[in-house]
Amino acid sequence: MGTVGDGFDAYRTAVAPPVFDDRTRDACIVVPGIMGSVLEDTATGARLWGADLTMLTNPLTGKGFLSTLHADPEERDADADTARRRPLTRIRAAALLATPWWLPVFEGLDPYTDLGKTLQKVTLHPDAVAPFPYDWRLAVAYNGALLARKARAHLTAWRKAVAARPGWRAAGEERPRLVFAAHSMGGLVVRAALEQDPELAADIRAVITIGTPFLGSAKAVLTLNLLHAEAKPSWLLRHVHELAVTLPGVHDLLPGYRCLDRGLDIDRLTPADVARFGGDEHLAARSLGEYARHREHGFTLPGHRAIVGEAQTTVQTLDEENRFGHPVAVGRHHAFRINPDHELVRDPDTGIPARHNTYGDGTVHQQSAQVGTQAIHYVFGQHGTLPRHDEVLRQVRRIALECDTSLGAHLGSRNGPGLSIPHLGGTAGQPLVLQVTGRDTPAGVSLAVNSATTGRPGPPLRLRRSADDPDQTLSARFIPDTPDLYRVVLDTGSDAPITQLVLVSPTHA
């Protein structure tokens, strides 16, 4: 009598059983962050954002481009109802960002090409992955309504495609669902979409947020306060401020937590505070009102997995100073603890609020990026370059395949490597000070600079430690000889390299 193994060997010889690649049947949507969509003039097809760096380096052309992007009154008032009734058409979002980009304060932003390709490699077909470019100038609520419509249409089309292919049906029995991979403000857009269409939640398997500022970012205030930044090129800072003050999207990133340091107390921003710092009081009131609503009612994203950048020097709170009669917002690298009764944790002897450096990804501090989830994975990386960070892409792949993600196994730590560069950029011929944190010695640490547009390597950099620096920060001086968008790469040999982009403008700008 033959054994079961013998029978299977005979069957295998006659009919080879199918072996499927490790792929997901689900549909995926990539949602970029602020600045992450290429914008075009609908009437002319002219690229207004994300295509030509001369708009950021050449005052003659840049002023015109940036002025075109100002939100008009109709765009400022656009909300979810506007998107459902009659979407705006003056400017269209044409594609996800495909080249490196940069803006003062918000700093560098890498393209989303690698994130899309990572998901395409683990789906049944590239058509399962849909980008969602959106007009990031406009309100999160407006774009959330558009995303809800896009998500339903994409999932419906993908389910029909899977049902029509016998081989795809055999790859699994579950009905395809949705996986969102959202960077930065994109996570807020996903949340808005699900709030406006609650029934969509049943069709979602996972929402992956990458550096999403659920509590906002103090850098939004610094952007609105750029008129008083003592840096060059002054024309770019001035025109970015004039643009930002008109944009609902920038105001939707205002910090909703207690961030204004008054010394003995820490206040939340008010619309009047935002206006005093250079923002729009009406747009601020709408944004801060949404934060109040979320504090009262809360909202949990289905299948939420948060990828959070850590160990990078990050502005977490703000001081207010008066310079030459102007209120100036000054970023501080510390936050404050709140007890279960929603009161500030204070020093028992002095009563002074206890200050703690929680770090973050250089733009979003850790507490803001990890709201509403216990499934967290921490990476050493800068905010704008997270979408192409090797460890982020690995986690996105694992989550998309529903493997054991081990999220939360790595507890956040300030002791990892960090990179800090001037967030307002620099000018050709003037030294840029590049800092490395979390390392006591330059041994085994390398810092390099190359052109993000041509790949041309910059001069070798030498890391030094300042003898009078209590934090033992390593630093190097880089003197760019030509205007360009540069990529700074920190490699410690033991972690994935940390990168950041910095724009160097002409000396005459």
HSE of 427, CA atoms in CB hemisphere, 13 A: 12
Question: Quick one: what percent of the chain has pLDDT higher than 70?
Answer: 91
User: Are 111 and 102 in contact, with CB atoms under 8 Å apart?
Assistant: no
Cα–Cα distance measured from residue 224 to residue 254, given in angstroms and rounded to the nearest whole number: 10
Cα–Cα distance measured from residue 369 to residue 130, given in angstroms and rounded to the nearest whole number: 24
pLDDT at 409: 39
Cα–Cα distance measured from residue 306 to residue 283, given in angstroms and rounded to the nearest whole number: 28
**Mean of all residue pLDDT scores within the chain:** 89
HSE of 170, CA atoms in CB hemisphere, 13 A: 8
User: Are 382 and 310 in contact, with CB atoms under 8 Å apart?
Assistant: no
Q: What are phi and psi of 65, to 5 degrees?
A: -60, -50
Confidence of residue 408 (pLDDT cuts 50, 70, 90): very low
User: Are 50 and 39 in contact, with CB atoms under 8 Å apart?
Assistant: yes
Q: Cα separations (Å) of 474 from 119, 275, 334, 351, 490?
A: 37, 38, 20, 35, 12
User: Are 419 and 312 in contact, with CB atoms under 8 Å apart?
Assistant: yes
Residue spans of beta strands (DSSP E) within 191-332: 204-210, 260-261, 266-267, 304-310, 317-323, 326-332
pLDDT at 15: 53
pLDDT at 2: 46
On the question of a cis peptide bond just before residue 353, with omega within 30 degrees of 0, the verdict is no
Q: What share of the chain is helix, strand, coil (3-state, %, to 5)?
A: 30, 25, 45
Q: Which residues pair with 107 in a beta bridge?
A: 103
Q: Higher-confidence residue: 455 or 7? A: 455
Confidence of residue 410 (pLDDT cuts 50, 70, 90): very low
* Average pLDDT score over residue span 456-478: 81
Cα–Cα distance measured from residue 141 to residue 148, given in angstroms and rounded to the nearest whole number: 11
Structure tokens that stand for 470 in this block: 């209590």
Q: Cα separations (Å) of 28 from 148, 241, 400?
A: 13, 35, 8
Cα–Cα distance measured from residue 241 to residue 239, given in angstroms and rounded to the nearest whole number: 5
Question: Quick one: what percent of the chain has pLDDT higher than 90?
Answer: 71
Q: Out of 3.40.190.10, 2.60.40.10, 3.40.50.300, 3.30.390.10, which CATH number does the structure's domain 418-505 have?
A: 2.60.40.10
pLDDT digits (tens, 9 = 90+) for 23-54: 899 999 999 999 999 999 999 999 999 988 88
Q: Which of 313-317, 437-441, 465-469, 502-506 has the lowest mean pLDDT?
A: 465-469
For the entire predicted model, the pTM comes to 0.90
pLDDT surpasses 70 at 5:
no
Q: Cα separations (Å) of 323 from 70, 241, 320, 327, 486?
A: 28, 18, 10, 7, 32
Find the angle CA(419)-CA(423)-CA(426) to the nearest 5 degrees. Answer: 105
Q: What are phi and psi of 40, to 5 degrees?
A: -130, 155
Confidence of residue 341 (pLDDT cuts 50, 70, 90): confident
pLDDT digits (tens, 9 = 90+) for 130-148: 999 999 999 999 999 999 9
Q: Cα separations (Å) of 421 from 26, 177, 499?
A: 39, 41, 10
Structure tokens that stand for 342 in this block: 């929603």
Contacts of 6 (CB under 8 A, 6+ apart): none
Cα–Cα distance measured from residue 270 to residue 289, given in angstroms and rounded to the nearest whole number: 10
pLDDT surpasses 80 at 444:
yes
pLDDT at 494: 79
Give me the residue spans of the domains in the chain: 27-400, 418-505
pLDDT at 62: 82
pLDDT at 325: 80
Cβ burial of 230 (10 Å; 0-12, 13-18, 19+) is exposed
pLDDT surpasses 50 at 405:
no
* Average pLDDT score over residue span 44-73: 89
pLDDT at 174: 75
Cα–Cα distance measured from residue 309 to residue 324, given in angstroms and rounded to the nearest whole number: 37
pLDDT surpasses 60 at 364:
yes
Cα–Cα distance measured from residue 310 to residue 367, given in angstroms and rounded to the nearest whole number: 10
Confidence of residue 17 (pLDDT cuts 50, 70, 90): low
Contacts of 420 (CB under 8 A, 6+ apart): 312, 313, 362, 434, 435, 436, 437
pLDDT surpasses 50 at 407:
no
pLDDT surpasses 90 at 229:
no
pLDDT at 16: 55
The SS3 call for residue 418 is: strand
Q: Which of 163-172, 176-185, 312-321, 425-434 has the lowest mean pLDDT?
A: 163-172
pLDDT surpasses 90 at 171:
no
pLDDT at 13: 52
pLDDT surpasses 60 at 404:
no
Cα–Cα distance measured from residue 360 to residue 383, given in angstroms and rounded to the nearest whole number: 9
pLDDT surpasses 50 at 191:
yes
Residue spans of beta strands (DSSP E) within 32-90: 37-41, 47-49
Query: Which helix (H) or strand (E) covers residue 190, if one does?
Result: helix 185-196
